[in-house]
Amino acid sequence: MRPWSPILIEDCGEPLRPLPGTLLRMEPHPYMALGAPYGASGNPFQLRQGVVQRLMDAQQRLIEHDPSLRFGIFDAWRPIAVQAFMVDHSIAELCLERGVKARSGDAFDRVVADVERFWAAPSRDPSTPPPHSTGAAVDLTLSSSDGTPLAMGGEIDAIGAVSEPQHYSGREDSDSRCWHQRRQLLADVMEEAGFAQHPNEWWHYSFGDQLWAWRKGATVARYAEAVSSALTS
């Protein structure tokens, strides 16, 4: 259970819409490249209609701040089957990194706990959908206008303190100041457009899901699990 899990959802019925070409995509899509089970209608670069518009508004704010910058979209809509695949993949990768061979015991439990700080459980309970399954959440970074991602002081999906939004706050070396400023700029333009940031992830923002409602003090979330009805591009 997350702090936002008890929040009621009243889905507003908005459809998923493909992201417009003015929003740069980080391709090849990382989870598709791993073989994640998106299915025939599984275009990850789509979000709820109202979320797409807010994302466009946020990018316009970014351009007004610095015309050389754009968003780089890492991931958007994610079906629950993909969420389950990626949770298992992340656990396996962290076990390999830490030399944990047994799928039980204290070391394995620590791996699972660390993964769960960053990956929502692939819940099929309609009252607790993973954020990305709703079409309300997006993972993104800052890029140059030619699509080159900027260094942000940590990779998207990195498991550890380096991923926390304020990890570099107050540090005096030039790289840390740069990374903090970039993370803060991303946060500023997204929050001005109405998005809420995941407390553990500098790259994750959402509008209208339970996490958003929890962070904004709303009593009801606008988006439940979303299912793509046709292949979009």
Exposed/middle/buried for 34, CB within 10 Å: 0-12, 13-18, 19+?
exposed
Token pair for 157? 């999906």
Which one of 14, 116, 155, 201 is the catalytic residue?
201
The tokens 């994750």 sit on which residue? 204
CB 214 within 8 A of CB 221: no
Q: Is 14 a catalytic residue?
A: no
Token pair for 233? 């591009």
Q: β-pairing, 137-144 with 69-75? A: antiparallel
User: In 99-173, where does DSSP find H-type helix?
Assistant: 106-116
Token pair for 134? 């709703």
Rounded distance between C-alpha atoms, residue 33 and residue 177, angstroms: 33
Rounded distance between C-alpha atoms, residue 193 and residue 105, angstroms: 44
CB 78 within 8 A of CB 133: yes
Rounded distance between C-alpha atoms, residue 131 and residue 223, angstroms: 9
Catalytic residues: 201
